[in-house]
Homo-oligomer: A and B are copies of this chain.
Amino acid sequence: MTPHTPVGRPLRPQGKLLQEDARRHHRSLLLQQLFREGPASRADLARASGLTRVTVSDLVGEMLADGFVSELGAPAESRVGKPPTLVGLAADSHHIIGLDLSETDRMSGAVVNLAGTVVARHEVHVDGAVGEQAVELVQRLAAELVAMTDRPVLGIGVGSPGVVDTLGTVIDAPNLAWTDTPLAARLAEAFELPVFVANDANTAVLGEHTFGESGDGGLMVLRVGTGVGAGFVLGGSLLHGHLGAAGEIGHVVVDPSGETCACGRTGCLETLLSAPTLRRSVAEPGVDGPSVLADVGTRLGEVLAPVVAALNLHEIVLSGPAELLDGPLLDAADRTIRERTMPISSTGLAVRTSKLGEDVVVVGAVVLVLAGELGVS
């Protein structure tokens, strides 16, 4: 997660603050329940959360006032006696702006409701904008999206290329020529809204985990685009890594005598697997496309086998151009992983493409806001 940390807040809560934190935590418990399980009565919420009926009624009252939940009436199959009133997440009470900066030619974004449904979309062409110009382009895109909704905006979430720190500063994104660019702070200042920025593969894995029917058994999303990168959700949490650089699997060397990579080194997985390279490879005259894709899939499987064995993953999701990834490439990767690991490592593993398609980064950016502001994901 990339938290929006209010400046000056003590790292450890003290005295009164602890009580406020507890209240916020309890409220998140209830919202999380409604978010994941759907509408429930106050009694259901008390049972599921372990909070008292009084506390639940109090918190529900507060959330009704804020508009985050609404009363839905009694369930149809209610038994004898006075039927309990159900409360549910008011999905359109607030909207969230999600941005995807990971594509080379355009920046895309969407207005998304609290249930993860895209309400409106917008995009801007990059036209070679880099550095400060690219930051201004992000601001323009965000402003246009904010203008497209009449609901209160809960916050802005951004999936950015490159390495991003936990404060939402882009440490290094070569394509946009960003170095130590405080993107979250810039947007927060411009819009006076909470802003959360994370690497696009990390937002993708959050999107898939929350809205892609994924479990908590260990999920990897491999993004295949201009570059190749991965995001991991392990034990229900996004993996950051020691220096915030988890997921840089596109730059594992698979062929020391291979082609020069964008990173300056030689024979990285990305030199075989990036979308432009795949497109070029299958279009070469006289080439058997499916067999080329299967060869790349085998190399991918060889890189992923140690990761699968180490983590005992539940799901690997490939995200990118389906016409290239789905089919011989995915099949060969899947087969190679199983050939190169013990049955217990791969028995419970599913290798598939994303169900969210190209929305996965935008929707994942929205999850950053849901998690940071409401404590749900």
Contact = CB atoms under 8 A, between A and B. Distances in A.
Nearest to A49: B12
B235 A265 contact: no
Given A304-B306, A309-B249, A265 B18 contact: no
Contact of A342 (B230, B235, B265, B347): B265
Residue in A13, A313, A340 with the greatest tally of chain B CB atoms within 10 Å:
A340
B310 A249 contact: yes
Contacts of A339: 253, 256
Interface string A211-250: 0000001101000000000101011010111111111110
Contacts of A47: 12, 14
A246 B310 contact: yes
A232 B310 contact: yes
A50 interface: yes
What range describes how many residues of A lie at the interface? 35 or more
Contacts of A341: 248, 251-253
B345 A248 contact: yes
Contacts of A89: none
A145 interface: no
B245 A239 contact: no
A242 B306 contact: no
Contacts of A48: 12
Contacts of A17: 50
A307 B235 CA distance: 17
Residue in A49, A241, A305 with the greatest tally of chain B CB atoms within 10 Å:
A241
A44 to B, nearest CB: 12
B312 A230 contact: no
Interface string A167-193: 000001000000000000000000000
A348 interface: yes
Given A252-B305, A252-B341, A313 B50 contact: no
A230 B50 contact: no
A253 B340 contact: yes
A242 B316 CA distance: 12
Nearest to A247: B310
Contacts of A195: none
B305 A307 contact: no
Interface string A250-281: 01110010000001010000000000000000
B309 A348 contact: no
A147 interface: no
Given A252-B306, A306-B303, A306-B306, A243 B348 contact: yes
A220 to B, nearest CB: 8
A312 B234 contact: no
Interface string A79-110: 00000000000000000000000000000000
Interface of A: 12-15, 17-18, 47-52, 163, 172, 217-218, 220, 230, 232, 234-235, 237, 239-249, 251-253, 256, 263, 265, 303-307, 309-314, 339-342, 344-345, 347-349
15 contacts: A15-B50, A17-B50, A18-B50, A230-B310, A235-B239, A241-B311, A241-B313, A242-B349, A243-B344, A246-B310, A249-B310, A252-B305, A253-B340, A253-B341, A263-B342
